[in-house]
A = this chain, B = another copy of it.
Amino acid sequence: MNIDGMKCSRCRKPAQHRLPSHNARFCDHCLGIFVRRQAEKAIKQFDMLGPGQKVLVAVSGGKDSLALWQILLELGYQAEGLHLALELGDGSFGEASLAASQDMAQRLGAPLHLMNMAELAGFGVQEIAWANKRSFCSVCGTLKRYQLNKVCLDLGFEVLATGHHLDDEAARLLGNLVRRHQQYLESQWPVLQGAPGAFAKKIKPLCRLRGAEIKSFAKSQGISVAKGACPRSKGATLPHYMDAVRLLEERMPGTTTNFYMGYLEDKGGPPPQPDPAQRCSVCGMPSYADVCTVCRFLANTAERESTKRDALQSPD
């Protein structure tokens, strides 16, 4: 749709997209150029990837990760996809996510690696959450970070890219400031350095782009994305911080970029590399304790399941 006879800020053809925080309007073609340039700028600014480097993209099936995958290929990187299927208690959302990821792999002619959280962990997220008396979201997040890192290394990739964008990062920053999570604030940076055999390098090449900009890009490129939100996200607080940032951005355009990029500038550099020397005695992955959080989660779940089985088998 053309916006009220407006012209593209770049080529003067009819504009389809309005970018208030850049005080710009773009046609489909020039929006693509803008989006790729912003991703490239982030990759250079934060030293994310070398020319043509191999990178694994965590592909959920949503607009951000699918757009990221395409952009990285267009910029000449060897980008393969990894879809980690979660069990969210609602078959249709999971199925749509997988289908959108597979469609994209076909469209891009790029390999997509498929993994299943329940198979990797041996239990469903819900069982693990119950056995450890934790919220679903916190367990899911911990398992996801652990498995994405492990699978990335197992597949021989040094770099893992995720589709987090400026609005995600600004909302997370706001939440960490409001709740004064000093530890999380210290590790907030669009690149986390890797260590061979321990940590994949984590990169967020969309960190300079607004969510709405990526949405417009995905739409203009005809990318078919999984609709809907995670059916388990009801208790999540991040959307509230995202709405607060959106309110400030609407009232004072440019606030999101100034806030997040300014914070990074003041901070000056990435957090120190984590120590990869200490390892979990069970799985061999890096861990602060003798047994890592995930292996503790799994051990507790195994114990609970066996108690349940015993209770069912023993006569009353």
Contact = CB atoms under 8 A, between A and B. Distances in A.
A258 B177 contact: no
Contacts of A90: none
A290 to B, nearest CB: 32
Interface in A111-147: none
Given A259-B178, A266-B180, A244 B248 contact: yes
A112 to B, nearest CB: 37
A297 interface: no
Could you say which interface size class chain A belongs to? 20 to 34
A247 interface: yes
A181 to B, nearest CB: 11
A266 B180 CA distance: 9
A179 interface: yes
Nearest to A260: B178
Nearest to A239: B251
A240 B244 contact: no
A248 B178 contact: yes
A47 interface: no
A241 interface: yes
A241 B259 CA distance: 13
Contacts of A177: 177
Contacts of A237: 251-252
A262 interface: yes
Nearest to A255: B178
A288 interface: no
A263 interface: yes
Given A178-B248, A179-B259, A244-B247, 16 more contacts: A174-B178, A177-B177, A178-B255, A179-B262, A180-B259, A180-B262, A180-B266, A237-B251, A237-B252, A240-B247, A240-B248, A240-B251, A241-B248, A244-B244, A244-B245, A247-B247
9 contacts: A178-B255, A179-B262, A180-B266, A237-B251, A240-B251, A240-B252, A244-B245, A244-B248, A247-B247
